[in-house]
Amino acid sequence: MCMPCSPLRPPPLVRLAALTALFGALAGCEALRLDAPAPNTRVDVAPPPSAVTITPVSTAPPGKKHTRGAYYVLYHDFEIDKTDPLFAELDALPDQVFGELRLPPSTAIVQVFLFDTQERYERYMRAKYRNLPPRRAYFIAEPRAGGTDELKIFTWLGDHLSTDLRHELTHAILRSVLKEVPLWLDEGLAGYFELPPHQDGVNPQHLDTLRRGPFQPDMARLEKLKDVAEMQKPEYREAWAWVHLMLRTGPGAKKVLHDYLQALRSDPNPGPLLPKLREVVPEPEQALADYLATVEMPKPRTRSRASGPK
């Protein structure tokens, strides 16, 4: 799930907001641990007829170069254009998230590992986090001494780089100030803030699919989901829709969301959100269906394209 493009600069500089790729899957996040290799594994290989130098395939993360943002460090192995407008957009994201959700600012630093190719990204993820389902990008919170999590994002130079970075950085921003975030709400908020500011949180693909139906809202079912593998396209769409409803339909529903997020600052399990929403929206499922019919589609913007690193 995881855009803006800009004019081509002379190689080897890379304009991040303009990179293209061919393949993709859903974005997602999950806290993970690295499995140990299988014990007593042996492979017998006949010796080569002559000495041959074999260069091992690297599974190391990017790190030859780094670019510092307002609240993140971007690790990469290629030259990038630091004047790319994507950096300014990412630097403004925390103010947007904290401001709209009424949350206090954070001083946490997020580590972003940007791979140059999909193949290298996927090879690293298989080696490091072998139990993960395939995703274009991942946010991973790794516990460390002192009680604070190490916030890491892994992704690659693909068609949806801007969206993927905004999505995963939203996860990291929320995790930096909240004890925990229910899976569906975490993904719904990331889906809302992954979009460029001019879209006002409206995802045209989600909105069009939900309007065409069939669609039966069911927040109670979403609130029971615990595993990221349970979040598929229909769940991402519905989670986004509930968040948009609460942030855009009036002070009552918005206050319910704000109060719930405030509770998550100190309590990792404040209970379900739906009963609280019913207090201000008596029939929330019907209200969501009615609301989606009134949301305006964002106006498309024309963007140019550029090639990847040389």
Pick the residue with more confidence: 57 or 110?
A: 110
pLDDT (tens digit per residue) in 158-169: 889 999 999 999
CA dihedral over 93, 164, 237, 221, signed as positive or negative: negative
Largest CA distance in the chain: 78
The H or E element that residue 163 is part of is: helix 161-175
- Decide: helix, strand or coil at residue 36: coil
**pLDDT attached to residue 141:** 93
pLDDT surpasses 80 at 1: no
Given CATH 2.60.120, say whether it is the number of domain 1-35+59-177: no
Cβ(74)–Cβ(114) below 8 Å: yes
Give the rounded percent of residues in the chain with a pLDDT score beyond 90: 65
Domain ranges of the chain: 1-35+59-177, 181-298
Question: What H or E segment, with its residue span, contains residue 259?
Answer: helix 251-264
| pLDDT one-digit tens code per residue, 219-270 | 999 999 998 889 999 999 999 999 999 999 989 999 999 999 999 999 999 9
Cβ 76 vs Cβ 66: under 8 Å: yes
Helix count (H) and strand count (E) of the chain?
10, 5
The residues with which 154 forms a beta bridge, in sequence order, are 113, 138
177 vs 31: which has the higher pLDDT: 177
As a whole number of angstroms, the distance between CA 62 and CA 65 comes to: 8
pLDDT band, very low/low/confident/very high, at 301 (cuts 50, 70, 90): low
2 vs 129: which has the higher pLDDT? 129
Mean pLDDT of the chain: 82
Find the mean pLDDT for residues 201-214. Answer: 93
